[in-house]
Amino acid sequence: MLIDIITIFPEVCKPYLDSSILGIAQEKGKLEIRLHNLRDYTLDKHRKVDDRPFGGGPGMILTAEPVFRAVEAIKRTADSGQRTTKVILLTPQGKTLNQKLAEKLSKRKHLILICGRYEGVDERVRESLVDEEISIGDYILSGGELAALVLTDSLARLLPGVLGHKDSNVRESFSNNLLEYPQYTRPADFRGLGVPQVLLSGDHKKIEEWRKHQAVKITKKKRPDLLRGP
């Protein structure tokens, strides 16, 4: 999978993208991530990429030209004959990211993520350039960089061969519309706090039954909406 991220702050994204699971995914050749500074695509001699909104109002708007130029340039260098590109705008107006959407997007070969800033982007970007809008929640961030990192991280974990154990994704929260069961590790007794005996029993069938029961119990308590389905 190839993910291109367009941002005015590539230096903010790079350390996280090179760390942990994302770094491993890239080292294994399962994922390629390219960062693009939006200012490299503007024709303005001062590298300006924003302007005041028509009609007045607070803040600044990312202009259409550098975003269009960036996406067009990326598509030309992305071996488009072999890949179907999907352009995503990270925005509060978008579809809320969940595990089902992440699984769907993880099957794509090429994604271009546009990180909004300031008061947003010129509407013509949304109307003529973007294929899908995605939000990571009903709150406002300073820009789309954090949302792009969240989306990229959620996708990398789903790529075959990235995680150490083949069942890791199957057992995590939100898989099968259930939250994850409780997890414990050594020591078995910590300050008088013990571990459920079934986990120490060695009886794998009983352990699996306990985990399923706990997953349903926790989901009913914390996120009953998940059990109702879409």
Q: Which residues contact 164 (CB under 8 A, 6 or more apart)?
A: none
Give the helix/strand (H/E) hosting 25.
Answer: helix 20-27
Q: What is the mean pLDDT of residues 155-164?
A: 93
Does residue 230 have a cis peptide bond before it, meaning omega lies within 30 degrees of 0? no
Does residue 128 surpass a pLDDT of 90?
yes
Residues forming CATH 3.40.1280.10 domain(s) in the chain = 2-156
Span 30-70, pLDDT tens digits: 999 999 999 999 999 999 999 999 999 899 999 999 999 99
Does residue 166 surpass a pLDDT of 60?
no
Contact at 8 Å (CB) between 127 and 152? no
Contact at 8 Å (CB) between 83 and 151? no
In this structure, whether the domain defined by 2-156 belongs to CATH 3.40.1280.10 is answered with yes
Would the pTM of this model clear 0.85, i.e. be above it? yes
Q: What is the mean pLDDT of residues 73-85?
A: 78
Residues forming CATH 1.10.1270.20 domain(s) in the chain = 173-227
Of the candidates 77, 74, 87, the one whose C-alpha atom is nearest the C-alpha of residue 121 is 87
CATH superfamily of 173-227: tRNA(m1g37)methyltransferase, domain 2 (1.10.1270.20)
